[in-house]
Amino acid sequence: MDEIKEKLSYLLAEKFQEPEINHCFLLDISISAKQKVEVFIDSDTGVDFDVCRTVSRFLEGILDENKWLGETYTLEVSSPGVSRPLSLPRQYKKHLGRKLVLTLDDDSQFTGIMKETDEEGVLIVWEEKILEGKKKVNTPFEKKCSFNTIKNALVKVSF
């Protein structure tokens, strides 16, 4: 199955060079023992139904032509959804201004608004009530986290 995943990853990387979907990138491919293929893609601008359909039809053609999974398989192509953590630095940019919950390698956790991101990491800011004298005062904090120290990053959606 790993060989099939590698081949599909390579073919998708080529497909994502096409102008109409060059804003997309692959996050993950999983293939279960029951021939279920799950492909998670993301985009710099957001993934819509048309993009998923385009990628799905492309992969169906390859899988049907090469018979890598035989005659019967299930294929699902989707975006990661809000419950799935951010896994690539490229994903952070479109979430500027949103609330993130970051867990670092040392298991410390920070929740704040992402104010900046670059090729090295993110800057999040938050406020905490700190006792000053006899009253609590909102005190601003910020933390710069490099991508190589982030164990888990979830976008916290507000309704």
pLDDT higher than 80, residue 159: no
Q: Both 100 and 43 in a single domain?
A: no
Among the three residues 78, 103, 129, which one is the final residue of a domain in this structure? 78
The predicted model scores a pTM of 0.80
**Total structural domains within the chain:** 2
Q: What is the CATH number of the domain that holds 108?
A: 2.30.30.100
**Rounded CA separation 95/102 (Å):** 13
Taking only the tens place, the pLDDT of each residue in 61-98 is 999 999 999 989 999 999 988 788 999 999 999 999 99
Q: Both 97 and 73 in a single domain?
A: no
Among the three residues 59, 78, 97, which one is the final residue of a domain in this structure? 78
**Rounded CA separation 73/157 (Å):** 34
Of 141, 101, 143, 108, give the one whose Cα is nearest residue 122: 143
> Which value, to the nearest 10 degrees, does the dihedral of the CA atoms of residues 45, 51, 56, 57 take?
-150
Number of CB atoms found within 10 A of residue 70's CB: 8
Tokens of 13: 């990387």
The answer to whether residue 48 is domain-embedded is: yes
Plot region of 46 (φ>0 → left; ψ -120 to 50 → alpha; else → beta): left
pLDDT classification of 59: cutoffs 50, 70, 90 = very high
